[in-house]
Amino acid sequence: MADRPDEAQKVIQVQRKALAANEARAQRLRRGFAERGTLVVNLISSPGSGKTTLLERTVAMLRDELRCGVLEGDVATERDADRIRAQGVPAHQILTGGACHLDARLVERGLAEASFPDLDILFIENVGNLICPTNYDLGEDFKVALLSVAEGDDKPFKYPAIFSRAEVTVITKGDHIPHLAFDLDAVRDQITTLNPNGRFLVTSSTSGQGLDDWCGLLRAQLSAKRPHKG
Amino acid sequence: MADRPDEAQKVIQVQRKALAANEARAQRLRRGFAERGTLVVNLISSPGSGKTTLLERTVAMLRDELRCGVLEGDVATERDADRIRAQGVPAHQILTGGACHLDARLVERGLAEASFPDLDILFIENVGNLICPTNYDLGEDFKVALLSVAEGDDKPFKYPAIFSRAEVTVITKGDHIPHLAFDLDAVRDQITTLNPNGRFLVTSSTSGQGLDDWCGLLRAQLSAKRPHKG
């Protein structure tokens, strides 16, 4: 109780200031997105939950009706942006060089480098990490938490911050449920407890399960953002 | 180039100091473990890679010949420590309250609270995060990186820091390889590139594949640590 402030506490203090600076930049980004009528979705999950695969399927389903673009956040490699570009949709890789999350500064820089055309939907795929990206506002309209059924049905209560804050939770790899001891009802209950107003979708990028609902949700959010156009 | 130090850089500076303080504590822990002849293994992976399940199987295989104990790191919930205790092996839960990794201070506190008997092997299960735990020495003898086949075969190059530094990589859920497009050779090549001296094991906690090799590795490391005891 009488501990002197230690290094860990100093880190927390400086992180608070960094979060405040991030918040100001995120609001600037948000104003810009609002002016252009761009819906912005921040996807957060563990490594290997299927964020890039979901985005490949999503942009393939939407690209003929909506102008989509993707910012890909990774510690290293250009692989994910290459996968999106192979779908005929503009993508830009943001390499954090070791950092465990995207922040508004990295998104500002990434957008300046990307020179995307005007977009209807900008997807931001965060670094694979279920913890650190949670606190960093990127100017998005909403956060999406992905949870692969392979990760187990105890994860929402073990990582409560992201599942409390994500407006949408997308269960991925749903086609594997029959082969796993994955209690979907238990996951739904945990998420409802953490976030009573959250949306919950079960998908499979392999079978296509839930992808129409997911794209419908995106269309509805875009229409809500610019009602005079929709 | 002429940017003033910004908030992100300040965070990095303070984190460097915190890492230096951590290093001093970790060395103190390491001396204590050496005096007691306890082998200490720091397990690091994404959420849901199967760290706890591997530990359940491991302590069940070793508990009759070696005194094992487990420190469980999590953001929230006591579930993992409960699962280990159900195997008849002492376990203590360290809750980080939001922090994304264990550090030497949390391990010191956890050990003080746990009051474990003298141990042959102490397993430390880090917080589910493939990035942040990498830099924090916990006084361990070696780090083990786990990678579930469900996470995909592109992960070592996408998360190079942990796969460079972990002395052992354990592929988990190997029984699912036949159902997935998971290129084991590609993963092995990436890890060999990042860490030419690293050990590489393919396991399944369901089928038992690779667990004898894993336990053999642990026994060999323990014998190497205290050669006079055999």
What is chain B's mean pLDDT, rounded? Answer: 94
> Distance (Å, rounded) from C-alpha A149 to C-alpha A161?
19
Those residues whose C-beta lies under 8 Å from the C-beta of residue B166, and which sit 6 or more positions away, are B44, B142, B143, B144, B145, B195, B198
Q: Which residues of B touch A154 (CB under 8 A)?
A: 77, 79
Q: Are strands A199-202 and A168-172 parallel, antiparallel or unpaired?
A: parallel
**pLDDT band of B1, cuts 50, 70, 90:** very low
Q: How far is A173 from chain B (nearest CA, A)?
A: 10
Domain ranges, ordered by start, for chain B: 8-229
What is chain A's mean pLDDT, rounded? Answer: 94
Looking at A1-10, A137-146, B50-59, B176-185, which range is the least confident one?
Answer: A1-10
Q: Which residues of B touch A8 (CB under 8 A)?
A: 18, 103, 105
Q: Looking at the partner chain, which of B17, B77, B152 has a beta carbon nearest the beta carbon of A157?
A: B77
User: What are the residues of chain A with a beta carbon less than 8 Å away from any beta carbon of chain B?
Assistant: 6-8, 10-11, 14-15, 17-18, 20-22, 46-48, 74-77, 79, 98, 100, 103, 105, 127-132, 148, 150-152, 154-155, 157-161, 173, 176, 179
> Distance (Å, rounded) from C-alpha A110 to C-alpha A95?
9
Strand order in the sheet with B91-95: B91-95, B68-74, B121-125, B39-44, B142-148, B168-172, B199-202
Q: Looking at the partner chain, which of A17, A21, A148 has a beta carbon nearest the beta carbon of B150?
A: A148
The larger pLDDT score, comparing residue A54 to residue A179, is at A54
Q: Under DSSP, is residue A151 helix (H, G, I), strand (E, B) or coil? A: helix
CA dihedral A134, A139, A143, A148 (to 10 degrees): -70
* ipTM of the complex in this document: 0.91
How is chain A split among helix, strand and coil, in percent rounded to 5?
45, 15, 35
Report pLDDT digits (tens) over B119-177: 999 999 999 999 999 999 999 999 999 999 999 999 999 999 999 999 999 999 999 99
Pick the residue of B22, B44, B130, B193 with the most A CBs within 10 A to test the interface with A by mutation. B130
Report pLDDT digits (tens) over A168-211: 999 999 999 998 999 999 999 999 999 999 999 999 999 999 99
Q: What is the CATH code of the structural domain delimited by A7-225?
A: 3.40.50.300
Fold of B8-229: Rossmann fold (3.40.50)
> Distance (Å, rounded) from C-alpha A56 to C-alpha B60?
42
Taking CB atoms and an 8 Å limit, are A8 and B151 in contact across chains? no
Q: How far is A15 from chain B (nearest CA, A)?
A: 6
- What is the pTM (predicted TM-score) of this model? 0.94
Pick the residue of A9, A17, A46 with the most B CBs within 10 A to test the interface with B by mutation. A46
Work out the burial of residue A169: count CB atoms within 10 Å of its CB; fewer than 13 is exposed, 13-18 middle, 19 or more buried.
buried
**pLDDT band of A3, cuts 50, 70, 90:** very low
DSSP string, B45-78: --TTSSHHHHHHHHHHHHTTTS-EEEEEEESS-S
Q: Which residues of A67-91 are buried (b: 16+ CB within 10 A; e: fewer)?
A: bbbbbbbbbbbeebbebbbebebbb
Pick the residue of A45, A53, A151, A153 with the most B CBs within 10 A to test the interface with B by mutation. A151
Q: Which residues of A touch B72 (CB under 8 A)?
A: none
Question: Beta partners for B168?
Answer: B144, B199
Work out the burial of residue A136: count CB atoms within 10 Å of its CB; fewer than 13 is exposed, 13-18 middle, 19 or more buried.
buried
